[in-house]
Amino acid sequence: MGMIKYIKEEIQIIKERDPAIKTPLEVLLYPSFKAIVRYRIAHWLFVRKHYFLARWYSQRTVRKTGIEIHPGATIGRGLFIDHGHGVVIGETAIVGDNVTLYQGVTLGGTGKECGKRHPTVGNNVMISAGAKVLGSFTIGENSKIGAGSVVLQEVPPNSTVVGVPGRVVKQNDMKLPREEMDQVHLPDPIQKELDHLRNENLCLETELKELAGRVEALEKQLNKQG
């Protein structure tokens, strides 16, 4: 794909996914747009083994946008980074098509791996603000990662992951529609467990009160007989 055609496609993607955009020219001001276009140039240099130039250009992009995409990363079409400050994508990360990342997302390594050190993100995945995906494993297509989650193991396709460490709390065979890419309304497994413990505690309190009432009644009966 030619660069002009690619730029037009990126402008259209950002206009479609960000309701704050009022005119196409606004897209040119977006840090995420600048970061993605400049990544393509840095990646072109990287695959031709111009490593220093690729990293130099990439680091200039970091200073200008606050978004760090290693020039060695492999990124598909339709990546959308909303706001984007603090986003980090590692060297061996692979990002599929139509992926959405929010600010503060990290696609990083654990520091203990060699070779493929960073995650592979499937098509149509949404990773919410502040989420950290660390290690060489796959996030299945059509999945959602909740805000602030720390994902350390593979995620099956069509899943919703929340928590620290990240846990799959929802999974089905239906493709996730784009309109459901909502980073707020996600299941809360911790609250669910707290609610369960609260209900168990109420049941125990009820049983203890009943038992105390029986003991008191028995004591009164024994006193009468005595």
| Cα–Cα dist 165/187, whole Å | 15
Provide the number of structural domains found in the chain. Answer: 2
Residues 143 and 214 in one domain: no
Residues 88 and 43 in one domain: yes
* Pure H helices in 18-77: 24-27, 31-47, 51-65
Residues 210 and 147 in one domain: no
| Cα–Cα dist 186/162, whole Å | 8
Q: How confident is the model at residue 226 (pLDDT cuts 50, 70, 90)?
A: low
| Cα–Cα dist 202/146, whole Å | 31
Q: How confident is the model at residue 106 (pLDDT cuts 50, 70, 90)?
A: very high
Q: How confident is the model at residue 221 (pLDDT cuts 50, 70, 90)?
A: confident
Contacts of 198 (CB under 8 A, 6+ apart): none
- The answer to whether 161 and 127 have CB atoms below 8 angstroms apart is no
Token pair belonging to 140:
């299945």
Mean pLDDT within 212-223: 81
What local confidence, expressed as pLDDT, does residue 185 receive? 58
pLDDT tens column, 160-216: 888 888 888 877 755 444 444 455 555 666 677 788 888 888 889 888 888 888 888
Token pair belonging to 169:
């709390």
| Cα–Cα dist 106/119, whole Å | 10
Residue among 145, 134, 137, 95 nearest 111 (CA): 134
What local confidence, expressed as pLDDT, does residue 54 receive? 95
Residue 164 sits in a domain whose CATH number is: 2.160.10.10
Residues 105 and 9 in one domain: yes
Report CA-CA distances (Å) from 14 to 9, 78, 95.
Answer: 9, 9, 17
Contacts of 10 (CB under 8 A, 6+ apart): 27, 33, 36, 37
- Checking if the pLDDT of 4 tops 80, the result is no
Range of the domain at 220: 188-226
Listed range (56-60, 139-143, 220-224) with the worst mean pLDDT: 220-224
Tell me what the pLDDT averaged over the chain comes to: 85
Residues 158 and 193 in one domain: no
Q: Which helix (H) or strand (E) holds 137?
A: none
